[in-house]
Amino acid sequence: MRQQLADEIATALRARIMSGELRPGDRIRLEEVASQLGVSITPVREALLHLRGEDMVELEPRKGYVVAPLSRQDIRDVFQLQGDIAGELAARVAARITDGQTAQLTAMNRTLARTRTADSIETLEFDFHRAVNRIAEARKLSWFLHTATRYTPARFYSSDAGWLAGMREDHEALLAAFAAHDQDAARAAMTRHFTDGADRLVKHLDGLGIWS
């Protein structure tokens, strides 16, 4: 239970860092985070140890934990990695998907398209991509993608009208590629889905003056 709590805290802090709420060089005070999240200091400390291992935070003498440097290229690298893995999975799905599975994904996408609340969008978007990845039957590759997507600040995207419109277009293109068993088109649509996310996040962080 304590490890699960530490993981949840790490997820929350990771999202705050990636969305620019916490900036490179900002000090992270254990007591403040614990108070904000309504937890004790122990799981916060464990979460920060984990994030230090990911190079998301650094431990500085007499200062404590601070947010590690994060460049525009870091953002693009993370999302390119996500896109490359997700694109390969999508190509494999296009090669093997059945009509029944295509119909199931289409139904899921219609439900997602009608959804308006951020929480529901995040949940349904996750479920859609998980269903896609399961069809690929590539457990290890899917695990690597899941690990890489931890660095995606989901709330930033689910609240962005431009990203939502792009998501719907990408999903439609992906489903069309699946129906046609077009591996190249499926790979391109899925990769674009992630690289577009990088462009939007970099623009958002530029607007916040993260790198000024």
| Rounded CA separation 118/115 (Å) | 8
Residue 23 to residue 10: CA distance in whole angstroms:
16
Whether 85 shows a pLDDT value over 90: the answer reads yes
Same domain for 120 and 51: no
pLDDT in tens, 95-119: 999 999 999 999 999 999 999 899 9
b/e burial code for range 104-127 (CB count within 10 A of at least 16 → b): ebeebbeebeebeebeebbebbee
pLDDT of residue 94: 98
Sign of CA dihedral 156, 91, 172, 130: negative
Rounded CA-CA distance 25/29 in Å is 12
Q: How far apart are CA 64 and CA 62, in angstroms?
A: 6
End position of a domain, from candidates 67, 88, 121: 67
Cα–Cα distance, 44 to 110 (Å, whole number): 39
Number of domains in the chain: 2
Residue 58 and residue 81 in one domain: no
Q: Which pLDDT belongs to residue 111?
A: 96
Q: Are residues 46 and 126 in the same domain?
A: no
Q: Which of 98, 128, 97, 94 is nearest to 113 (CA)?
A: 128
Residue burial 34-68, b: 16+ Cβ < 10 Å; e: rest: beebebeeebbbbbbebbeeeebbbeeeeeebbbb
pLDDT of 138: 97
Would you state the pLDDT for residue 1? 59
Summarised one tens digit per residue, pLDDT across range 145-201 is: 999 999 999 989 998 899 999 999 999 999 999 999 999 999 999 999 999 999 999
The residues, any chain, with a CB within 8 Å of residue 206's CB and separated by 6 or more, are 72
54 and 76 inside one domain: no
Exposed e or buried b for every residue in 142-179, given b needs 16+ CB within 10 A?
Answer: beebeebbebbbbebbbebeebbebbeebbebbbebbe
- 6: pLDDT confidence band, cut at 50, 70 and 90? very high
Percent of the chain residues past pLDDT 70, beyond the cut: 99
Q: Which CATH number does the domain housing residue 151 bear?
A: 1.20.120.530
The verdict on 11 and 57 lying in the same domain is yes
Sheet of 27-28, strands arranged across: 27-28, 64-67, 57-60
Total-model pTM: 0.92
The domain boundary, picked from 44, 67, 90, lies at 67
Q: What is the mean pLDDT of residues 21-32?
A: 96
Amino acid (one-letter) located at 38:
G
Residues 24 and 88 occupy one common structural domain = no
Q: Range of 43's domain?
A: 2-67
Are 105 and 167 contained in the same domain?
Answer: yes
Q: Report pLDDT for 96.
A: 98
Both 63 and 131 in one domain: the answer is: no
Query: Is the domain of 86 the same as that of 63?
Result: no
Please identify, among 51, 67, 83, the residue that sits at the C-terminal boundary of a domain.
67
> Do 11 and 103 share a domain, yes or no?
no
Query: Does residue 136 surpass a pLDDT of 80?
Result: yes
User: Which CATH number goes with the domain that contains 56?
Assistant: 1.10.10.10
Pair 90, 166 in one domain: yes
Same domain, 130 and 148: yes
